[in-house]
Chains A and B, each alone.
Chain A
Amino acid sequence: MKQLLEGSQAIARAVAACQPQVVSAYPITPQTHIVEGLAELREAGLLSAECLNVESEFAAASVVLGATATGSRAYTATSSQGLLLMTEVLYNIAGLRLPVVMTCANRAISAPLSIWNDHQDVMSVRDCGWILLFASNNQEAADLQPQAYRLAEELRVPVMVNVDGFVLTHAFEPVELPDPDLVRRFLPPPKLRLLDPEQPRSIGMMAEPHLFLETRYDQHQAVTAALAAIPRIGEEFTAAFGRPGINLVRPYRLDDATTVVVSLGSISGTIHEAIDELRTSGQPVGALEIQTFRPFPSDELRLLLGSRKNVVVLDKSLNPGSVDGGVLAPEIKAALYGCSPAPRIVSGVLGLGGRDVTVQDIRRVIVDVLSDKSVDQPSSPRFIGLKRIALNPVQTASTAPPKAREESGVTR
């Protein structure tokens, strides 16, 4: 039965169905509703976890590290600055091969301060050794939670479920919650128990140069193994729950498309609308949504994009000073390297810091690409929706001449 639920509520209910024994988080917008939701579920007797209100995200990540090593399923969620504060622990969790699952309500990184959505946070921790999944709607955001635990516990690799802050976390959509009984069957209790007096082990030892490379190689192999595990677990999920399970990529109207728009996360809904409109007017366009960003599904991308004319990559993150601007675009380029004839790859940066992305914005980019306009320098990124305004130096109220303030017209 579908229920009209806020994204965070749907996520909280799905997490509770996974029966974590330890939950630890620190408040940060827009993650807060998820953790509040879990607290409410605990109050209602629907979750029996130890819930730790810790002093920082750094501690939250450390707590779930310790709990997971002790054999408990553990959960945390964060956003933005919180994710960055966790960075050191994220690497450590991955290196210790602990199957932690977290939800990241994606948000911009300061400065300037912004509480709104983009993907800068997750892209900043891209190399931590976590499996990185992206939800495109609230149904997926909920369904990804049990699948993330299955994946994490099977491969002993931590998994981060990325959910666009506000766009999904605070949006109400009809969602069918994962049935707790089905989840119990789909997700067996965790078996890993490292810190155990019955079998004393030393965990987190020092690796000297003759061993370090081998541990990193193993980590790489384990994360890469998710390329095979993800579609399989997704199929099992579909069989159990009757809904689409997790996959590496999701094609949309790709069949005869010569131009394909590639994206991550919730923006795919807007892209699909633009594609539909252009299809109505006879344009051969399609879209491809990347659901699994780590491990990166290069083979699938090569297969699905290698013979297209144009590939438009839309990024909600920025690597300032880089060739493509966005973080996803160079990865797509790398995946398609050597294809002949090579598709033209156009990089677009959009939606940063919560800037609204409209169907029109997307359509305009595709039309531009189709008509060969403004793509004479395909390697330089397009900043979609950029306003040509002067950002004056910040002035204090006491020193700023009133006229100059009016002229600036920019809210800082």
Chain B
Amino acid sequence: MSASTTTTTVNGSETLENAVPNANSVARPIIPSGAIPPSLGPGHRACLGCGEALGARLALDAARKVALADGGDVVVVNATGCLEVFSSSYPYSSWNVPWLHSLFENAAAVASGVEAALKAQGKTEIRVIAEGGDGGTADIGLQTLSGMFERGHDVLYICYDNEAYMNTGIQRSSLTPFGARTSTTPTVGASPGNRLPKKDLPAIAAAHGVPYVAVASVGYYRDLEKKIETAMHYHGPRYVQIHVPCPLGWGNDGSQTIRVAQLAVRTGLYPLYEIVDGKVTNVRKLAKQPPVEDYLKTQTRFRHLFPKGGSEAATRELAEIQAIADENVARYGLA
């Protein structure tokens, strides 16, 4: 039997590695000559006002800027999730950087292999970035993430935290905040919404002894870019968690994504800080701390906390969420 050739219009293997047979089919941004194209280009299928799409572009561009300045470049490993799906439907890709998607829970392990190969090839100027959502990072991918941290790979892992499994229809993850409604934490009974606290993943990362951990928000994009740049100046495993509103899953107005993200920080619910060599530092102080209601009211996922005429249960829930914010203020010294 001889090797038969395919008669189909696309070569299967190339399909999934996207050698993109027709250059016209690729969404190409208009870029001034000499300028570096955005890592995540336009034309993808993210929802209007998607915090993750914005966060990914800002973060990767900032990382690439540092790598290029150091005479290198970046390669990106992406976990399964919204970001992967909206950016890479063959034959259309929005990625202007080398980009590899394998599975949901193995981005950190694949990135470990990529980094080991680059090391073996003596190409350590090419920096590896792994990225995923909160589910792929904090839940199903936590084991491979821990392995990557512990082995000390020179990989920057970015978690885009939109606080639920948005790609599959807004199911709760371990980074879903207390009180939020998701499709698997319905608003029924006396204790509606998610009953579980948000997992402290930055602390888990820091516990591995990694040199740099940061929490950023797409609402403060200069701060976000600076943290990524700082991360890129470190070597070894680094973890940056970026709060990214999801208009679809949170029920916020897509035009208000930045403001919603800022309110999460300003109310104390999403403190921004760095952990350098195990010590919390560079905490973003709150000039004044608005009540958590100001943030919660911008999103339908918390609508059950504001019933017409109020309710005892809702008052209790709001007090609990306010207590979480106040605890953050005390714990991180936000005031």
Contacts and interface: CB of A to CB of B under 8 A. Distances in A.
Interface string B50-84: 00000000000000000000000111010000001
A88 B109 CA distance: 14
A88 to B, nearest CB: 6
Interface of B: 1-6, 8-13, 15-20, 73-75, 77, 84-85, 88-90, 93, 95-103, 105-106, 109-121, 126, 143-144, 146-147, 150-151
Given A55-B143, A204-B88, A218-B15, 9 more contacts: A55-B150, A58-B109, A62-B103, A66-B102, A67-B117, A202-B95, A205-B16, A217-B12, A218-B6
Given A24-B113, A89-B106, A206-B88, A200 B99 contact: yes
Give the secondary structure class of A's interface: mixed
Contacts of A217: 6, 8, 12
A200 B113 contact: no
Interface of A: 21-22, 24, 48-50, 52-56, 58-59, 62-72, 74, 88-89, 92, 95-97, 156, 194-197, 199-208, 211, 214-219, 221-222, 224-225, 227-229, 299
Given A22-B113, A62-B110, A70-B75, A203 B6 contact: no
Contacts of B8: 214, 217-218
Specify which of A48, A55, A71 lies most central, judged by the most chain B CB atoms within 10 Å of its CB: A55
Nearest to B88: A205
Nearest to A194: B17
B98 A201 contact: yes
B114 A67 contact: yes
Given A65-B113, A203-B101, A216-B12, A59 B17 contact: no
A137 B15 CA distance: 39
Contacts of B112: 52, 54, 59, 62-63, 66
24 contacts: A50-B120, A52-B113, A55-B143, A55-B146, A66-B109, A66-B114, A69-B113, A70-B75, A71-B117, A72-B117, A89-B103, A96-B17, A195-B98, A203-B16, A203-B100, A204-B17, A205-B90, A208-B89, A208-B90, A211-B10, A216-B12, A217-B6, A221-B6, A225-B4
Contacts of A227: 1
A97 B13 contact: yes
A346 to B, nearest CB: 28
A191 B127 CA distance: 21
B12 A215 contact: yes
Contacts, number: 225
A197 B17 contact: no
B6 A214 contact: yes
B266 to A, nearest CB: 37
Contacts of A48: 120
B99 A207 contact: no
Contact of A222 (B10, B13, B115): B13
Given A66-B114, A221-B4, A21 B13 contact: no
B114 A62 contact: no
A70 B113 contact: yes
A217 to B, nearest CB: 6
Contacts of A71: 117, 121
Contacts of B109: 54, 58-59, 62-63, 66
B10 A214 contact: yes
A254 B113 CA distance: 47
Contact of B89 (A69, A92, A206): A206
Given A55-B147, A89-B103, A214-B8, A62 B2 contact: no
